[in-house]
Amino acid sequence: MDVFVDLFLEKIRIRGSDLKFNAKIPLRPLPKGEEVEQAGVDGGGGVLKLEGGKVLYIARAVAVSSDGMIRDMIVEVNPWESKPLLESMRSYVELSAASRVKDKELLMDGSYYTVVVRWLQRVARVALMKAKTSEILSLPYTLLALEKLVDIVKKKPIFVAKSPRFKVFKDYLILKELYERTGYEKFYFLMKSPELDKKELIPYLRDPNARDLVQVLLSAAISDVDMIEGEGYTFGLELGLPRKIRRILSPSMIREIVQMARENYEMTTGEEAPRVNLEELCYLKSPVLWWVSTGRVKFTVEEASGQPLCISSVRREIDAAPSALPHLVAHEYNPWLALAHTISTLKGEQLMVYAQLLKARLGIGMEVIREDLLSTSRSR
């Protein structure tokens, strides 16, 4: 018997429930579900700390469909421990598996917007020598993943993330209401901005016409999913890129940034980073985001259907539904994505098997085990 059960009931606290806010994101009726040929892609990964200070990295991914499984995997031993390295490996191996899918609607777990912004920010930090060593170590697979993304987006994938803690719709709709209530142009510009600097909201806490909604904006406890009730889907929201990201996306600038990042990686590790061509990134379409609520499941849908990334500078409402919406609501949650997640997730007992195989094949023992399963709502 668990001797802590009584303490569990005594000590439990529910935080973030003090702020009362009842506004809901408007939902539109779901269409009738339609079955089409689809493939779901997801990945998992983990690390093992080995004897002598070495670290084993394992990243694996699977694309599953009615045609069977497409598997891919990266296994690497190196002297460094880095969560960003494992994350970038996983991103690359997922895109690698996805690139081999043919004649199927491609569903990928995660957020297109989040990975584009995160990866480009990482490359820029490495180039400007502002990155931690753990980020510098992840540069090769980050560059390879960005290059692979250019090809994948041409397949028109649908990115699906189950219940991420996004605050995109919350921020947009509350700022819109603040603008309509007060007439302050500041709220309009913040509503349209691709990044919300919360410091700019602090002065409005003294304004009686704005205080209540500003408090909600500043609260980390309320996210989009808390404002969704019932079944349906939201309007679309095109997600413009932050200004600093757009500035580096021009073909000439991205070449320079990548070269600087490669040089700094080589100085840090003594190894050469891969040569990649990222000039087409500028012309990829920006993400459009929707929320979908069906049954007990809430998930985001992103399609690359907005303006080109290098000119998409504001958030704007899109009236159209996701092109794949009827296919996504044929089931409460897509079975191919659910199956891909189950197959690719790396469990502790599987890590132990890999450790035993490593010992038998290379004679390298394990120091301690640490399971590190990363989710690409990156948000993943």
Q: Is the residue at 177 inside a domain?
A: no
Looking at the structure of the chain, the number of domains it has is 1
Pick from 118, 69, 68: nearest CA to 90: 118
Alpha helices in 200-308 (DSSP H): 211-218, 243-247, 251-269
Overall average pLDDT of the 5-16 stretch: 78
Which segment of 60-74, 299-313, 345-359, 365-379 scores lowest on mean pLDDT? Answer: 365-379
Go through 186-201 and write b for each residue having 16 or more CB atoms within 10 A of its CB, e for each that does not: bbeebbbbbebeeeeb
Q: What percent of the chain stands above pLDDT 90?
A: 75
Q: Is the residue at 201 inside a domain?
A: no
Question: Which tens digits make up the pLDDT trace of 86-129?
Answer: 999 999 999 999 999 999 999 999 999 999 999 999 999 999 99
Chain-centroid distance, C-alpha 72: 20
Q: Is the residue at 18 inside a domain?
A: no
Give the type of residue at 248.
I
Q: Is the residue at 275 inside a domain?
A: yes
Q: Is the residue at 7 inside a domain?
A: no
Question: Which tens digits make up the pLDDT trace of 265-281?
Answer: 999 999 999 999 999 99
Q: Is the residue at 176 inside a domain?
A: no
pLDDT of 364 above 80: no
- Can you name the residues that pair with 41 across neighbouring β-strands? 63, 108
Higher pLDDT, 73 or 50: 73
pLDDT of 363 above 80: no
Residue 318 lies in domain: 40-166+223-370
Radius of gyration of the chain (CA): 22
Question: Which tens digits make up the pLDDT trace of 192-219?
Answer: 999 888 899 999 999 999 999 999 999 8
Q: Tell me how many degrees the CA angle 306-309-313 measures, rounded to the nearest 5.
A: 85
pLDDT of 147 above 80: yes
Overall average pLDDT of the 159-177 stretch: 92
- Can you name the residues that pair with 247 across neighbouring β-strands? none
The number of residues making up the chain comes to: 380
Q: Is the residue at 184 inside a domain?
A: no
* Dihedral (Cα; 365, 370, 58, 164), 10-degree rounding: 180
Pick from 299, 303, 294: nearest CA to 321: 303
Q: Is the residue at 178 inside a domain?
A: no
Task: Determine the Cα–Cα distance for residues 147 and 304; give it in Å rounded to an integer.
Answer: 16
pLDDT of 373 above 50: no
pLDDT for 376 equals 34
Strands (DSSP E) contained in 51-173 are: 55-65, 68-78, 105-109, 158-162
